[in-house]
Amino acid sequence: MRIGSVWRELPAANRRWLVAKAIVATIAINAVVNAAIAWASVTGQGSVSMWGAPLVETSIFWNVIGTLFLLPLITCVLTTTAIRADIQRGSLAPLSSGLRATHRWLTALPSARWRRGVAIGALTVVVLAPPLVLALVVSGLGDLDEGQFVLWQTVFAVLLGIAVTPPIALCAMADPDATETGQRGPLRHDPRS
């Protein structure tokens, strides 16, 4: 994936969107939302261990796996919705067919936002879970108290959001529904998305 080469070919409005919304807004949203979720998930638990039964108690391992899947999934659905709305309003241009042709990874995933989100979430787990879990095991990280866990989860989610949101946004700018919207008028409702 060559985001740098795509960046040079983007219209100025698309670059501004990526900086303002895919990075700055993502940092703020993920910091607040993930801190709140982490706090709510461990309130009264006392400490958070590395391992634990999934869905029984919060553990670092299952939190990493859940975040690696859910954050890209939810980010994809929300980002694609926002980009389609901006394209419909005319404040953002869909990516050109030439750019889509030279950077095939932009259109390699399903255009339906939920399906694309599931694919990106699964891909994120497959690619990032093994090295992250290995790093956690090698680090010897022990139990975290509630405050440490909330801080750890917030930083992890913010960093993951910074990593996945720009490529997700670029895929949304390149998807066929976005292109059709930019050329033919308002989006039609697609029950698959």
Q: Are 64 and 133 in contact (CB under 8 A)?
A: yes
Which of 11-25, 56-70, 114-128, 168-182 bottoms out in mean pLDDT, i.e. has the lowest?
Answer: 168-182
Q: Which pLDDT belongs to residue 181?
A: 44
How far is the CA of 96 from the CAs of 21, 76, 93, 153, 156, in angstroms?
Answer: 21, 21, 8, 38, 34
- Amino acid sitting at position 78: L
Contacts of 117-123 spanning 24+ positions with Cβ under 8 A: 117/72, 117/73, 117/74, 117/75, 117/76, 117/77, 117/80, 118/73, 120/72, 120/73, 120/76, 120/164, 120/168, 121/68, 121/69, 121/70, 121/71, 121/72, 121/73, 121/76, 122/69
Q: Which pLDDT belongs to residue 96?
A: 78
Residue 100 binned pLDDT confidence (cut-offs 50, 70, 90): confident
Q: Among 163, 15, 177, which Cα is nearest to 92's? A: 15
Residue-range domain boundaries for the chain: 18-183
Question: 64-85, pLDDT tens digit by residue?
Answer: 999 999 999 999 999 999 999 9
Q: Which pLDDT belongs to residue 7?
A: 82
Residue 185 binned pLDDT confidence (cut-offs 50, 70, 90): very low
Tokens at 123, concatenated: 């891909």
Question: 153-174, pLDDT tens digit by residue?
Answer: 999 999 999 999 999 999 999 8
Report the C-alpha gap between 87 and 66 in whole angstroms. Answer: 31
CA dihedral 9, 13, 18, 19 (to 10 degrees): 110
